Amino acid sequence: MDPVKPGDLMKGSGVAEVIFSKDPKFKIGDKVLGLTFWQRYSILKAKDLTLLPKNYKDYSDFLGVLGISGLTAYFGFKKIGNLKKGEIVVVSAAAGAVGEIAVQLAKNAGCVVIGIASSKEKCDYVKSIGADFVIDYKKDNLIQKMKEYCPKGFDVYFDNVGGDMLDNLLMYIKDETRIIACGSISTYNDEPGKRYRLKNYSRIVIKRAIIQGFIFTDYAK
């Protein structure tokens, strides 16, 4: 998807109500999910829309836990993470839209969860949704906390941040750790040619780790 440019409509998923349709699949009054942009009315192609169930209690669920963020966390674990009960799972940006779902899914799978966030308020929230341990990366010493919380390393890392955080965490991976490369928010605004380069890459080889990127639309069907 191209970046938003000055003057463009803001892009984003939305739940919409059909007020006119040339496709028999959609009736007036139906609720649909799609890339609606931030506007009151849109003309959209039927193939780009998903018909939602009638009389659903709260359609905003389809923009959250049942939407892009929830599905991203779900498929990241299902297709790459392959969680096993008792494993140690680290989630960065754990208070974010994807991270908060990842924390809860990992906890529901019987894993020990370490969440990483950026303020006391966010860390308290991550703790409240089930994380066993929380690290404030702006206040705490990440390396020291990892030594304390998982001295023998961790099994799965749901990475939303990339950059030096990923680099530092590579020092704590176990044999065959699975790293779910979901995002790299720490580097999005870096200038081309000045983006962070991993220094601890050899750890992936030594520990026979798996690092795999994905986009939730890979599993749309």
Number of neighbouring beta carbons within 10 Å of residue 18: 16
pLDDT at 146: 96
Integer Cα distance of 52 and 55 in angstroms = 9
Determine contact, residues 171/143, Cβ cutoff 8 Å. yes
For residue 176, what are the CA distances in angstroms to 43, 159, 208, 209?
A: 48, 16, 5, 4
The amino acid at 121: E
Determine contact, residues 214/190, Cβ cutoff 8 Å. no
Given 3.40.50.720, 3.20.110.10, 2.60.40.420, 3.30.420.40, which CATH number is that of 68-219? Answer: 3.40.50.720
Listed in sequence order, the DSSP H helices in the chain are 68-76, 97-108, 120-128, 142-149, 163-169, 202-206
pLDDT at 103: 98
Domain extents in the chain: 13-63, 68-219
Determine contact, residues 166/146, Cβ cutoff 8 Å. no
For residue 73, give the nearest of 113, 44, 39, 26 by alpha carbon.
113
Question: Rounded to two decimals, what is the model's pTM?
Answer: 0.88
pLDDT at 85: 97
pLDDT at 195: 82
pLDDT at 196: 86
Work out whether strand 88-91 and strand 50-51 pair parallel, antiparallel, or are unpaired.
unpaired
For residue 155, give the nearest of 89, 206, 200, 75 by alpha carbon.
89
pLDDT at 148: 97
pLDDT at 25: 95
Q: What averages of pLDDT result for each successive group of 10 residues across the chain (221 residues)?
A: 88 94 96 93 94 95 92 96 97 97 98 97 98 97 96 97 95 97 88 86 96 88 77
Integer Cα distance of 141 and 126 in angstroms = 18
Radius of gyration of the chain from Cα atoms? 20
Q: Phi and psi dihedrals of 91, rounded to 5?
A: -125, 120
Integer Cα distance of 61 and 41 in angstroms = 21
Determine contact, residues 66/216, Cβ cutoff 8 Å. no
